[in-house]
Amino acid sequence: MKADLHVHSKFSTRPSQWILQKIGCPESFTSPKDIYRIARRLGMDLVTITDHNTIQGVLEIAHFPNVLIGEEITTYFPEDGCKVHVLAYDLSETQHEDIQKVRENIYDLVTYLKDNGILHAVAHPLYSINGKLTVEHFEKMLLLFRGFELNGARNDLQNRLLRALLAGLDRQRLISLADRCDDGFMPLDFGPKWIIGGSDDHSSLNIARYWTSVPNAQDIRGFLKAIAAGEAEIKGTPSTPLTMAHNLYGIAYQYYRDRFQLTKHLHKDVLLRFLERMLNIHQPCVSRSWSHRVYDLGRSTRLWPRHEAQQKDLPVIKALWKMSQTLVTQDVRLLAFAQGTKAVRVRAAEKVWHRFMEKTCDALLVSLSRSIAQQLKDAHMFNIFGTLGASGALYSLMAPYFVAFSHFTKDKGMVREVARRFGAGDGMGGPAQEVSVAHFSDTILEVNGVARTLIRQLRAAQRFGKRLVLVTCEESRPGCHSEIVNFKPIAHYALPEYPELSLKIPPFLKILRYCFEQEFTQIHSATPGPMGLTALAVARILSIPIVATYHTAFPQYVQRLTGDEALESLTWRYMIWYYNQMDRVYVPSKATARELAGHGVSTAKIRTYPRGVDIEQWSPKKYSSDFRARWCLENKVAALYVGRISKEKDLDVLCRAFRQLHEKNPDTALVVVGDGPYKEEMERMLSDMKAVFTGYLSEQQLCEAYASCDFLVFPSTTDTFGNVVLEAQACGLPVIVSDCGGPQENVIPGRTGWIFKGRSEASLLKYMEIMCAEKEKRVQMGKEARKLMEGRTFEAAFLAMWNMYGGIEGEAEQEFLQAV
């Protein structure tokens, strides 16, 4: 004999109620008779409805065969108001009334239930209902109750932990727990524990997802007696966030369908029929006639207005409806569900629905982002606010998934603490979970310092057995590295000032689901672009700590590229807002830390993080006479620039200074490694002197370039760190950097290089002349630079950074930071 002991109907109230109130519908309104019919059809021998603090619903079917009167009772720990739900079965109406008088105090409630011989169990005991549940509360539940529910609507991590914990619990452990409790009177129970299973359904979509089975039970009394003896078997399919979200969508749809009598329009609208099949699954499947299919085909050819102007005038909801219709008609599988030619299985429906919602939300996001991009391009700034207002529709559309994923992760910390305290084992998500980091970036495929650093960190993580996954959004897969996870963008928009770069719009729901399934313990945002915003949203929804690194001085870049100070100010506002959302902000230099703090980032969040260099890869041993011969550098003093060839790198200052240097000393040369929008202009400025442009080089070729030139000149005043400064010194090159930004902190003036006054060609020229004129000094500085870098290995920096993820700022990285 089997029963689904935990089903709700129209009288229930749940933690998800707030989202349902926002969309204007009660939690559920499936009639008790329908619940009974569905449960029996799904194979349940016994049926009950456990509404919250009422038995009105189950009394409507009490006269039906094999109905068990049950109730879910809301009660509280009187000492702090922690809310608990208790399931009680085989009640009379008088007992229900008595329960309402004592239910405010959990101790009084349990005493009443025991005194009256009422079978009862605590529902979802590891789920915090009002945010007050602690390990201590759970320990008290172990002393109060014998019965515990495995819940089909909650994270299965809780069910697995609870099952394992109860199986290993003995009387001695319970006595030990009781000795620690000093809350006065508690109706202690040291007896053996037992479990039940229930679906906790609220929308009729998941009735009998979890159920309780008792072999050989002949009637209700025998069924309940066997449960109390610990003879029940719990069966069913665990829920996921997709399950909960599907329920929320189902509740909303069923409510609005009845409120607005949408069923009479089913034959006219393919989307309505799809919604009916997906969100009201237990209705009979009726195959569509050939005439209706022809009607669908005709509508699908004219879903969108013929003129773009008409489309723009559509209200947001109407446009969204038509967009969704198109998605259904253009997807063969979805159309088959809508037409009734393909059966809908309850367990598969949530996945089909998720796929449909992914497509719908992506399409709406593309439409909104395209509209904003066009308005920015046309300088219609005031129109943007209307479009941003329409984004509320997108948020509402995704909200059930936000709620579902949030509910499935909000109690993980407490669950792990329970597992740790009871020694339930790693498999239950308990003791000392390893640090697992998802590093989000928009720039994995780009040739820049951020991307190169991320790849090196990934290699270091593999060497040291650390779990680091790079999450990005690129049109093509970034290599074949197994720890780089790429999500294809749903749209991308080129930046006017950087035509070779583009903003890529990521598929948010796919990424959210991926991060939930991978159970990351930390999220790291490398950039504040679309992937950075995605990282922030994922972290907040999944309750995962999030940190960010400030690599690039975007506001200064914007000002240099556009000359628009207002736009620079706007960029600063966004950057400060974004980085203030982080739990920590890692900066590569003290100068950057001061700058961010000066603009408004909380100083409590800012940390300077260690940066190192691979001294094996970048080495003076990579000197190549072939490189010098290939670029005609024999008998020349070769100054080297490595980096992006763009205005914000202050290359105009370098060009003017080098022209003067070359005029005084023709035996000098400038080697420029890299590419960018300023390259053609720079080539014109230096066309009549010895300046070579190599373009992008492979890492091996770049090593040769460093080791084969005579000194590095890096004029940028906007860089926060400058990887190339470390790489050059590791290759034995002295360096010249500006006194603005982070690179200056990686140079010892007069020993490993020189620091010139930013944007001053006279100051830069002075130190370039010294480098050219004093060979012995230059060579000695190169040797000291190499020695300095040998104390800043990439491996040591990586391990120090990794410890910072877990909040362990211990001796190792303190020593490293002091050495730096």
Q: What is the pLDDT of residues 8-21, one digit of tens each?
A: 654 333 333 434 44
pLDDT of 536 strictly over 80: yes
**pLDDT at residue number 559:** 76
Q: Is the CB of residue 171 less than 8 Å from the CB of residue 438?
A: no
Predicted local distance difference test score (pLDDT) of residue 11: 38
High-pLDDT (> 90) share of the chain, %? 55
Predicted confidence (pLDDT) at residue 636 exceeds the cutoff of 50: yes
Task: Return the pLDDT at 812.
Answer: 42
**pLDDT tier at 388, thresholds 50, 70, 90:** low
Q: What is the pTM of this model?
A: 0.82
pLDDT at 396: 83
Axis-axis angle for helices 381-409, 508-518 (nearest 10) = 20
At residue 587, the 3 state secondary structure works out as strand
What is the structure's pLDDT at 374? 66
If one compares 432 and 674, the residue with the highest pLDDT of the two is: 674
Check whether 301 has a pLDDT greater than 60. Answer: no
Looking at residue 372, what is its pLDDT?
Answer: 67
pLDDT tens string 685-731: 999 999 999 999 998 999 999 999 999 999 999 888 888 999 999 99
Round to whole Å and give the CA distance between 350 and 213: 25
Mean pLDDT for the stretch of residues 280-293: 52
pLDDT for the residue 23: 41
| pLDDT, mean of residues 581-605 | 93
Q: pLDDT averaged over the chain? A: 85
What single-letter amino acid sits at 581?
Answer: Q
What per-residue confidence (pLDDT) applies to 480?
55
Distance CA 197, CA 212 (A): 5
More confident residue, 512 or 257: 512
**Above 90 in pLDDT, residue 620?**
yes
69-80 burial string, b = 16+ CB within 10 Å, else e?
Answer: bbbbbbbbbeee
What is residue 432's predicted lDDT score, i.e. its pLDDT? 47
pLDDT value of position 818: 46
More confident residue, 11 or 159: 159
186-215: pLDDT as tens digits: 788 888 999 999 888 877 777 888 889 998
Distance CA 381, CA 372 (A): 9
Whether pLDDT at 33 is above 80 = yes
Residue 88's nearest CA partner among 32, 141, 56, 50 is 50
Task: Give the lowest-confidence range in 39-43, 252-256, 449-453, 772-776.
Answer: 449-453
The sign of the torsion formed by the CA atoms of 272, 273, 275, 280 equals positive
Please state, in angstroms and rounded to a whole number, the distance separating the CA atoms of residues 641 and 245.
54
Per-residue pLDDT at 430:
40
Full set of structural domains in the chain with CATH: 2-239 (3.20.20.140), 244-404 (no CATH), 428-608 (3.40.50.2000), 620-792 (3.40.50.2000)
> At 498, is the pLDDT very low, low, confident or very high (cuts 50, 70, 90)?
low
pLDDT in tens, 738-790: 999 889 999 999 999 999 999 999 999 999 999 999 999 999 999 999 999 99
pLDDT-derived band at 501 (thresholds 50, 70, 90) equals low
Q: Is the pLDDT of residue 809 over 50?
A: no
Predicted local confidence at residue 715, as pLDDT: 97
